[in-house]
Amino acid sequence: MDKIALISGAIFGLTAVIFGAFGAHLLKKKLSKEQLQSFETGVKYQMYHAIVLLVFGSQFNSLTAINNYIIYVFIVGIILFSFSIYGLVISSANNKKMKFLGPITPLGGLLLVLGWGLLIYKFASL
C-alpha cells in the first residue's frame, strides 16, 4: 500500500505541475479571472494532497486497514475534487459546461476532509 501511495503521490504531483503550467500559460487568455482561480484551486489541492500521499507512503510502511482507507480516500478525493474542477472550468470556457460534474466536486472535497479526519483518528490512536 505504501507503494500505491508513493506512486499516486508522484503522479498527482507531476500532473499538478503540468496542469498548473497549462493553466498559467495556455488557459490564461481563454479563462475569466474567476475561472482561472477555480482551476488554480484544483491544482493547489491536488499538489497539497500529492505531498501528503508521498509523506504518508514514506513514513507508514504497515498495511493496516486505517492506512489503506486514508490512502484510498485521498486518491479518490483528489480525482473527484480536482479533476471535476478542471472539467467544469474547461468545459465552461468552451461554452459546453458539463453540469453533471458540479455535484462531484463537493463529494471529492468531502472525501479529502474524511481523509484528514482518518489521519487525526490514526494519530490520536497511537
The domain spanning residue 32 has which CATH number?
1.20.120
Domain containing 102 equals: 2-124
Residue 61 has pLDDT above 70, yes or no: no
What's the CA gap between 56 and 58, in Å, rounded? 5
What's the CA gap between 104 and 110, in Å, rounded? 10
Residue 11 has pLDDT above 70, yes or no: yes
pTM for the predicted model, two decimal places: 0.94
Residue 7 pLDDT class (50, 70, 90 cuts): very high
Residue 33 pLDDT class (50, 70, 90 cuts): very high
Residues 89-124: tens digit of each pLDDT: 999 988 898 999 999 999 999 999 999 999 999 999
